Structure 1
Amino acid sequence: MSAARRWLLVGVAVAVLAGAVAAMVAGFVRTHERMEREVPLPPRGEAVGNPLYALRQTLRADGIDAHSRLRLQPETFADAPGDTVLLHGDPSLLTPDQVEALLAWVARGGHLLLRTPPARLDGSDAPPPMLRRLGVGGKLLGSGCEPLQVQGQPSHVEFCRGRRFELAGHAAARLRWGDGKRGYAYARLVRGRGTVDLLADFDFLDNESLGEVPHQALARQVLAPNYGRGRVHLVHGGRPVSFWRDLARRAWPAWGPLALLLAAWLWRRGQRFGPWLPSPAPGRRSLLEHVRASGELLHRYGQAPLLHAAVRDAFLARLQRRAPAAAALAGDARVAAIATRLQLPHMTVRDALAAPEPRDRHAFFARVRTLIQMRNRL
């Protein structure tokens, strides 16, 4: 094929391929439409461990000085009666000193937000000391939803997972949400010149929930007493979690398979109680057993003449040491000399020195036995 024809075929192939690609692109553009879609990403950074991160950023955007911390530090707001403290954790973890410090600060004009503690493992329904000091009597009740209607928004329900509470007769409640039979889900209690908002749960303030308009409106209402007057302290930590507990709770995708591998290795390498198979017979070092086993193997594979020759050579070696004159002879003369010295029949000595047939078992054993007896008589 000439070079011009070859290049012509290459050009035609390239043109056909380009046309096919153009047709595919045109079909794709004609049958598909480009659209944009927003996909919410999982939280990163501080938002992973701080459930009140969105609330803090929202307050700062509104000009409020808001701060987040893991532990309650009464000394940071003890001299600021216009501040607001939101304790997101379990109030039953407060120490007696912290309870006294908080109540004294509220009496001077502070605003404290608390939630009822979650259900305990021991099933106790008694309110913690902090709630009893605020006038919560009786026992903590089960959960129940409360309807919430914000203008221009669909109907909403709140406090579906939190524990309700009962108020004693001396409790000075400015606002209440709920009823005396099922318990209250929210109450604003007056203490001195300050107020305490007690709620069944703070789930509407979490990062995932604060984006809804009803939750924003409810958050603005519960923060109303000192809103804009001072700082807002958002305490989102409770009892310190140990490293090992946090590792067991968060890192199980890593240590779970490793634990299974470790258990499998220990099971594989560990000592069995009651073995599945009997223990193998211990090795023996008896030279006689090895020689016997070697002889049986050679005899099984038709090497009887080789074994007979070894026994005969051993006999002749001793004959050379004990009777050199007889060993120096050959043929019938040596047979006669050996028969005379050992006092054996002439035919017995001749048969013993002659090699047996490979498959003649009886002849092999008889001649080897005779050679051993002859060797022992020397």
Structure 2
Amino acid sequence: MTRERLFLLLAALVLIAGGWWLSDNTEWVEEDVPRPATGEARDNPVYAFEQIMRKLGMHAEHHEQLDRMPPEGARLVLLSPNWELVPERAAQLRAWVERGGHLVLLQGADWDDTRLESWVPVFAFDISEKVRRQGEQARAAAAARAAKPTPAPGHGASAAGGGNHKDDEDEDENRDEADSEPPVFGDIDSLDLCHSFNWNKRLRVKPGREAVWTLTQEHGQQLIRVIQGRGSVTVLNASPWLFQRQSPLGCDNALLLAATVQADPGATVWIYLNEKREALTPWLWHSGWIAIVLGALALAAALWRAAVRFGPRLAAPPRLRRSISEQVRGMGAYLHRHGRDALLAAQQRALDDAAIRHVRGYARLPMADRAHAVATATGVARDDLYAAMASKFCTRAELPGRLHLLETARRLLLSPAHKHPHPNLHRPHDERPSQ
């Protein structure tokens, strides 16, 4: 035997021994593990009810808004009072029922605290504590009688028969039956409902109205259907959980649900769960994004306009000297409007303004003394300056020379570097006359 075959033989022996040990020390049993709901069954609380209705040939769908009413002749199950958030819904529901709709209301959904209470001819009332106590005592007495052994009047067979009767009574005691008037389907006049209704309240029809179908349990009616116009209203003394069971096939619950919505192949049933709307912010964006964008742009513009700036609104223009062409065009326009005499008078006023600021007592001097003081201060020819300052008229040939002379004298007076030898000129503040 080779080494490889020896290793294979040892491995086979180990596997056989392991399998024998496992089979001898373990026990294989089957266990049902419930799987959580997935997909639509997880998100839709009335998924099981809808499937039952679809198996019966109906069109079942659930809604979280009632912006529109179901089709005429359809069934509408209200599992929440949130529909009343829109005030006109009660009137719309009444008009829909009177046109042929079939409305299903549940007492656990607090429909009687809404505007439906004014026209639905059914109301609920509380069972008194005394009546409840009497019912509990009656059921306890029946259970005690069923628990007593029945003596066999003859032989053991009769005793065995008595025991079977006791078991039947126990089974009946644990059942939550409701009597139907008229029968639900065919000759079925009793339903085992597995504690589906509220035991603290009962239903009653308002005076003057008549029920066309009722389910009666101890102390009163648990379901009432009345005709309203061409439609009907069915009221159940139960909670919305009746339509939201994950396993609605227990007892006769499926039969009750089918009878409640008046199941009929081809009919439509709507289940209203609650009022679910889009959040405010997304709704505003989807409904009016244009207004939001324009408002944001306007706000941004207003903030930018009112924001603090680190400089002037506009940059300061550069201080450039006027060109010769602009000077010539401006002088030509002035001469064209006012003439040579106005230009000469303007230049004389400019020289007087400069002399008043720099020559002491200039305004009180006669014209000849003014010309002498300015000539002494600036060094220009006194006679020519006097002629230019005193003249009122001039020819076209004289105008340039006189304007040049007057402007030269004005600029010399305004020049800070010019030395004023005339004693009548203002001295700077930091100079003092010598002693």
TM-score, normalised to structure 2's length? Answer: 0.43
Greater radius of gyration (CA): 2
Return the structure number with greater relative CO, CA threshold 8 A, min gap 6.
2
TM-score, normalised to structure 1's length? Answer: 0.49
